[in-house]
Each structure stands twice: as C-alpha cells, then as structure tokens.
Amino acid sequence: MTEVTHGYETSPWELRWRGMDVDALQRSESTFALSNGHIGLRGTLEEAEPRGLPGTYLNGFYEQHELAYAETGYGNPEAGETVINVTDGKIIRLLVEDEPLDMRYGAATKHNRVLDFRSGTLARTTEWTSPTGRRVRVHTERLVSFTQRAVAAIRYEVEPLDDDLQLVVQSDLLANEPIESDTSDPRVAAALESPLVSEFAASTDYQAVLVHRARTSGLRMAAAMDHKIEVNDGLRARIHAEDDLARLTVAVDVPKGQRLRITKFLAYGWSAQRSIPALRAQVEAALAGARQTGWKGLLAEQRKFLDEFWATADVEIDGDLELQQATRFALFHLLQAGARGESRAIPGKGLTGPGYDGHAFWDTETFVLPVLTYTIPDAARDALRWRHTTLDKARERAVQLGLKGAAFPWRSISGAECSAYWPAGTGAFHVSADISDAVVRYLAATSDTDFDRECGTEILLETARLWSSLGHHDAHGGFRIDGVTGPDEYSAVADNNVYTNLMAQRNLRAAADATERNPDIAARFDVTAAETADWRKAADAMVIPYDEELGVHPQSEGFTRHAEWDYASCTPGHYPLLLNFPYFDLYRKQVIKQADLVLALHLCGDSFTAEEKARNFAYYEARTVRDSSLSAATQAVIAAETGHLDLAYDYVAEAALTDLHDVHNNVRNGLHMASLAGAWMGTVAGFGGLRDHGGKLSFAPRLPSQLDRIAFRLCLRGSRVEVEILDLEATYRVLEGRSVEITHHGEPVTIGEEPITLPIPAFETPLPVHQPPGRAPVRRGTARIQAGVGPDQTPE
C-alpha cells in the first residue's frame, strides 16, 4: 500500500497527489511547477479556477519599482526589481452542456495529479460529475521543453462517460491576470498591478500572438499559442485577440465512447532590445518548430534529455523511501531551474513562484552551482556566464562604494543591486568571493579552458581587486577586512568575519594563479606583477581570528565575547527570531540564524584541522537556530564529517523535505532552490564526503545507521563516475570516460572501468553536541521511514 505524507504519495520517481484540497493548492502549485530555466509554469489547474497563486514567468523579465527608505543615504540602491506574472497560456476552460468544469462544484469522483521526474511532465486525471449529473473524464499532460527552449505544450482530452455531450473548450492567452499581492510594500504592489502594456495582438486559424512591454522597465515579451484539434465529428471554432486576451473557442458534440483531444503549443520570448515584429517572428518560429516536432516528438525529446541527466546525476537511497523521493524531486527541480537559463540567473525560487521578488542571491553559487557543476556542468557554466555579463554593473557598484574591482549584488534580477537593507546590500561582500569560488570549483571539475579565458579569469581578477581595496594591512602586518556582513543574518557589519576572510583569501590566490596562467588577459586588464604580488601578500597575511581560551574560531572578531542568547525562555512561537526581536538585540548576542563559521568548515575545510572542526561544530551547533532554510544542509555536511552521522541524517532530511513538508510555511511563494540543493549536498558532500579543495577530488564516505545503501553519480572532468556506499565499504568506478584520480579517506586512488572496493575506516567517538532548546532537527524513526511515513513536524 502506498503511504501518503503531507498530501503526497511516496514513490521513487514521481510526486503524486490524489483528491482535491483547495486549501493546499498554493503549495502544490509550487511543487508541481514545470520549468526549463527560461519559462516557468506554476502547477495551476488548466481551468484556471480554483487556484491558489497563478504564475507564468520568464527568466530575467521583471518590472522596476521605487525602493522605500525611512532615511536616505549615500550608496542606497534606488530601484527594485520584481518578477512579473506574464501572459498565461496554461488556461483551457471546459464547459459541459453549458456548465463550467469547476472542482468546487459538482463532484470529483476521481482526481489525481502526478509530476513524473523521468518524463518531465505534469499529468492530471479527473472524473467529474456536473451539478446536473453529466459525467466526463478529463486527462491532461503538460511539459516545458528542455530541448526547445521557448516552447511549452499541453495535451487536453475530454471523454463523456454516460451520454453524448456538447463540449465547449476555451483556450486562452491572458495577460495582466488579476492576482492578490501579499507584499506589504505598496510600491511593489503598485508595480505588479497590470504591469504589462499591450503593443500587439493578432490571431488567425488556431493561432494567436500577444506582445506586451513592462510598464516601467520597458522590457518586451511575446506569447503565442497554436492548437491541434482531434475529434471524430465536425466542430465549430472561433478565435479572436484583443489587448490582454486571445481566445480560441471550440464547440463540438462528442458521443459516448469517443473523445475530444486538443494539443496546445505555447511559445514565449522576451528582449530588452528587439522590436515587436522581431519578437513576434521569434515566437511564431518557435511554434512552427513545436508543431513540426509534434506532441509525441516533444515527449520523446523530453524523455531522452532526462534519461541522459539521470544517467549522470541520480542518487539512490536504500532504507528511506520518502528521502529517496525527496532527493530526486530536488534534483529534478534544480535541473528545471538551470537547464536552459543560459544567459540568465538562477533565482532563489527558480521559476516556481514570486518569492524573494524573483531575485538571485549568493545561494546560487554556494549551494546550487556545486550540484550543477557535478551533474549538468553546462548549466553551471551558463549561470556563471550570466554573472560575467553583469560585471560592468558590479564595477559601477564598487565605484559607488569607493572601492576597486567588482562588488556583486546581494539580490538582483538584472545584475544591479536592489536590496534596500544596507547591511546586506552593501555589507555582504562575501557574495563576490562566493562567485569566484564557484568559478574555481567549476574550472577544477571541468578543465574548461575556454570559459577560463573568456569569463573566469576576468571575474577572478576583478573580485580580487575588490578585496585588495576593501581590506587593509594593520600595524602588525595582518590583512584585515572590517565592517562586513557574513552569511549569518543575525550578525552584521562585523570585523574579520572568518568565512568572508577565508573566502577572500582563496579569491586572491585564485586570481593571482589565473592571471599568471593567462598573462595576455592580465595585460588586457592592466594587471601587473606587482598587483598579483600584492594579492598574494594580502592572502598570506589574512587575519583569521581564533579564541585561544575556548579553542574555537569566533564567527567574527569578538563574537565569542558577546552575551549568550536566552534560548531557554524562547518558545516555538518566538521563531523565527527576526519577527519577534529587534535586530539590535540579535546582532550583539551569540545567536546564529544560519551556518556561518560552519559553512567555512565545509567550503574552506583545508584551512582547519580535524580537531578544530570538531570543536567549532560543537560550539556553533549550540547557538544556531536555523531560522533560514540555508542552514540544515551545511550542518548536515559537517555533522557527517565530525562523526555525528545520525544528526547529519536528520539534517539531510530537513533540507530535502523543506518544501514537501512546507517546513517554513511559505512554499506558496515558490520552492527553496538552495535547500533542494541541500538534499544533494548533504548526501554527496556529507555521507559521500566529497571535497574539491585545491582542485583535488576526495571522498570520505560513511553511511548513517538508518540507511542500507547510498549510490550517486557525478560528472568529473568529462568522465561519469559512480560511488556506492555500504556500511563497511565503498565502491568506485568510471561508467564512461577516462580514469580519475581521487583520494579515499586520505589514500590516493585511481579509479577506472573496473570497480574498486575499499574499506571504510572506523570513526572515533565524536565530541558531544546539542542544539538550542527546541531547535533540534526532527528525528526520523527507522520503522516509520521504511514504511514511507514522514516524521512529525514538532521539533524536539
């Protein structure tokens, strides 16, 4: 019997929901979203109502609005950017003998929806009885094409179950769809109210095109639809187009035992520069290609693309059915977020909802790109190419702040900073080091010399110039970086944040290496030998605070001398703390929103000894409240490395199930891409022990007691590698490509086509750790897991 948790059936390769729950639509519309990185369609019903939060998004298409400040200040960004719900082409309304199919009326005797991770489709089957007793079966299937970037398609079938019926179908393109905004900022709400201005509308036969521009940003987009109609008897059809609506209406009498089938092809495109005729031509050409391929051809292309992806990216987990499903769900959505984004960013919510205003953050480079680098490296490259296209804006921001080089934004769609919260938008300089770190990791994993010369070296040298101008040598010769905000958002504007300083240190050294590797590029950007020498000098002298008395690294200078937070007096209702306590109080106490120093233990792990990692993890575990979805994955990785495998297991599950369990009660606004990446990170970097320090690949696999086996695949320097972990041993082999040099628990190994099985050494008893009262992760009981039943959501 299939178990159901939080509304979803547990299944290894699909996400299925049976029955109709109107109250759950907003969150299931996010989890059932389809995307290819360019187009995003939320999982709303084809009939458009009932609905939670409709959404159709084009990556990089946004509206501008004024940012609000209680007091003005030099350097504050002036304009915000917000993702727009563009023209909705998902709508296909059905009338059965003049009665609209609406799941709130009549009776749905059968209704289920399934997102298939292997076919890349969202399917739905409904048997509905109208209020006057007419019965129909509706089956729909939709996809957003991975192979034809501008194309989406829907197959819509209706079958009378009892009698001959007159059916009327209305297929729409609808712009400026009314949506209730849940933003508290009236400027944003105003920007989102009818943001599209009509510029062109046309229709002919079964095809229509609408062109709009965003009212303030001026960006122009086009949406087009075409249809293939299959029915045994004659039909009447009419199409028309106006400013914000194009509609094809089809009326047909369908006998019992026969069916009406409509295939709807959609095409989308946008540009900041192309004309109305050019955009119209673009989407009409995309439609022509989709019609030529046909529905079956699109399905076949989609399946082939995904077969190739899973052959490189799959993660197998034996012993926890729910975690297996959640991990593949996570990988599928990460693929959807980045596969065809190409010259655009990967937003924090992907294209699954309007959360975070559609902005991209450092989450992309630090959490999402490691997954893509080792599973679909072309997508990682394209995301970094987008950062490269925004270098001029990052240079402008640095000049505005009185600095050299490039200061990348905390949050953005276009590449311009649009955070109105200056401790992050100005103070979180670590973003530039995070981007450079992603460049270095990508180059080490792929040996992509073209990217190195075209983009990578320039990013590295400009971010190195930022650190060189931001920091300074003190009287003792140390290189200090003062007054910055690290990853932890419950600390701000601190001196010598350890994570920031270590990442800047790596940035400086990587830039020096890159310019020496590519002297012609260094000369093009006027990098001299003296400048690279200064970078190395700063890196070698970087101040890394250490508390000798406690034997730990303070998160930032002086952090361990702050007063302790009164955790014991906090009830579950006090979390997240930022909604119940002033930042002033949080900033001066030892309380941590998300892993900061612990993230340094992961990404800069070769800068710490094993003993330092154990002590640091124990110290910060007791002070981290995980009010951010970014935290659990990092805590999972270091918990596993320091021997706390059961705790790591709990954290991996929290990261993987954040959206399926709606842990933070905000999935209605879209999925958490970084937390989804945490499912992979906790499994592969945590239990697999994957590290890539200095470009050298190493593994230190260990299996938690609750699991029987983990196997994962990676793309390493053009080769496809599989790692299998059992209780006492691990097996490595190259599935395709050349041999690869790695280390296994510190021992050098060359792996090839013949499997190599190596023992897993015993682990010494780890230092005891505990979390703040009430903030331990949810424990996962073995009996419940094997039955496919999820844990309770009450933290211990």
| Residues labelled catalytic | 489
Asked if residues 370 and 681 have their Cβ atoms less than 8 Å apart, the reply is yes
CB atoms within 10 A of CB 705: 11
The CA distance from 31 to 332, in Å, is 11
Asked if residues 698 and 722 have their Cβ atoms less than 8 Å apart, the reply is no
The CA distance from 148 to 162, in Å, is 40
Q: Which residue has the tokens 């709130």?
A: 104
Residue type, 563: A
Asked if residues 593 and 494 have their Cβ atoms less than 8 Å apart, the reply is no
Q: Is 438 exposed, middle or buried (0-12, 13-18, 19+ CB in 10 A)?
A: buried
Nearest in space to 625 (alpha carbons), one of 572, 670, 678? 572
CA end-to-end span of the chain: 30
The CA distance from 281 to 125, in Å, is 35
CB-based contacts of 749: which residues, under 8 Å, 6+ apart? 732, 741, 742, 743, 756, 758
Longest dimension (CA), the chain: 90
Tokens read off for 19: 């029955």
Tokens read off for 250: 């089809």
Angle between helices 610-621 and 631-641 (to 10 degrees): 140
CB-based contacts of 163: which residues, under 8 Å, 6+ apart? 134, 256
Judged by DSSP in three states, 172 sits in strand
Judged by DSSP in three states, 436 sits in helix
Asked if residues 264 and 227 have their Cβ atoms less than 8 Å apart, the reply is yes
Asked if residues 742 and 749 have their Cβ atoms less than 8 Å apart, the reply is yes
CB atoms within 10 A of CB 22: 11
Tokens read off for 787: 């039955």
Nearest in space to 328 (alpha carbons), one of 10, 630, 2? 10
The CA distance from 355 to 59, in Å, is 14
Q: Which residue has the tokens 């192309």?
A: 274
